[in-house]
Structure 1
Amino acid sequence: MIDIDPNSEGLPGIEALRTIVGATMTIGLILSVLALIVSAIIWAYGSNSSNPHLSGRGKIGVLVSCGAAIVCGASVTLINFFWNVGQGV
């Protein structure tokens, strides 16, 4: 039987890599908020100016930005979930 677990001290620079990944997640969340604000403005402008194409693009932008925030926020949990699924196989 082979029992191998992740080694967090096996390579130099792991702590720096964790810091970089955390900063990238923060940047992703900030950009998601910015995209949500811009998309909501486009949606409102399209609805107010009776432009269904612009309004539809704004709606899609709101959904995409919310989806991106979900992926950024849940990425660690998703990876841990699938890691545990893989360990059970």
Structure 2
Amino acid sequence: MILADAVRQLAYDPGIAPAEGGLPGLSVLKTVVNSINLFAVIAVVGAMCVSGLVWAWGHHSGSHGAEAKGKQGAMTAAGCALLLGAANGIVAFFSTMGTQVH
């Protein structure tokens, strides 16, 4: 009987789902997150510019370490830009996948 109770507890659905407008201040929170995203995109553009300069300086001065760090910074900035741009899609995808778990 104890095993049957444990299985019954696992199958229990609490009925929780995201609801728009459930809390006051949701529009303010969305505005804050959008502003943080914009700030991050601007920071990534700056990081890409600095990395490009370090990469070029390393290449032309013969400093292989600086050239490698410039390439690494450029790739990191590109990856960050990809994640910032795809954040809504990634969260929506995994949220949808999560609702299909039974």
Q: TM-score range by the shorter chain?
A: over 0.9
Unaligned stretches of 5+ residues in structure 2: 1-12
SS, match of residue 19 in structure 2 = coil
Structure 1 unaligned segments of length 5 or more: list them.
Answer: none
**Over aligned residue pairs, what C-alpha RMSD do you find?**
1.2
Which consecutive aligned stretches of 4+ in structure 1 deviate over 2 angstroms post-superposition? Answer: 1-5
Partner of 1:67: 79
Q: Give aligned-pair identity as a percent.
A: 33
Corresponding position of 1:21: 33
The normalised TM-score by structure 1 is 0.94
**In structure 1, C-alpha distance between the alignment counterparts of 2:51 and 2:84, rounded to whole Å:** 18
Aligned residues: 89
The structure with higher relative contact order (CA 8 Å, sep 6+) is: 1
TM-score by length of 2: 0.82
